[in-house]
């Protein structure tokens, strides 16, 4: 379990936060400083940027908790002789490491899509940025509840 945590931490912190340096405005263009748009300095790298937004980070934590509950309950059902009915997840559930990697990837992808939607130029995407994370978290909560009910029989 600890090699997986080590690998994930190395992946998240591979690029330092200050690695993206923006040149001063006088080096970018000959235009006066007032004409150039003022943009905030990028925070984080490709993997950590979504989690600097508080709303996205809170939804990602809820998704991660639901994913953990679903994964543990799924493993317990499999240990008692059950089987995974979802054909897309079935190859991953027999190995704890691949199941955890799949869950982390799914939570990160939902957070990344939400971050991109929140900063989109389209109004309907900016207004529904929370939808990918809520759908993913709801599906995981349903899976955790369903598997817990199966365990209580």
Kindly tell me if the per-residue pLDDT of 105 is higher than 70. Answer: yes
CA distances from 113 to 84, 87, 102, 120, 129 (A): 27, 24, 16, 10, 8
Average pLDDT on 52-77 reads 92
Token digits for 17? 């936060």
Sequence spans of domains, the chain: 1-45, 48-152
* Nearest CA-CA partner of 53 in 38, 40, 66: 40
pLDDT 10s digits, 12-49: 555 555 555 555 555 555 555 555 555 556 677 778 88
pTM of the model: 0.69
Q: 86-97 as b/e, with b when 16 or more CB fall inside 10 Å? A: eeebeebbeeee
Q: What is the C-alpha separation between 103 and 95, in angstroms, rounded?
A: 12
């Amino acid at each position: 379990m600890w090699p997986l945590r080590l690998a994930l931490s190395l992946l998240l912190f591979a690029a330092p936060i200050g690695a993206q340096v923006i040149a001063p405005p006088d080096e970018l263009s000959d235009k006066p400083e007032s004409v150039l748009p003022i943009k905030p300095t990028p925070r984080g790298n490709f993997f950590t940027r979504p989690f600097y937004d508080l709303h996205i980070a809170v939804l990602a934590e809820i998704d991660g908790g639901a994913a953990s509950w679903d994964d543990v309950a799924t493993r317990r059902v499999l240990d008692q002789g059950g089987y995974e009915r979802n054909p897309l997840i079935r190859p991953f559930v027999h190995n704890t490491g691949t199941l955890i990697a799949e869950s982390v990837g799914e939570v990160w992808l939902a957070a990344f899509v939400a971050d991109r939607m929140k900063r989109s130029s389209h109004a309907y995407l900016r207004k529904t940025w929370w939808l990918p994370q809520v759908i993913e978290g709801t599906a995981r909560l349903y899976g955790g509840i369903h598997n817990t009910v199966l365990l209580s029989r």
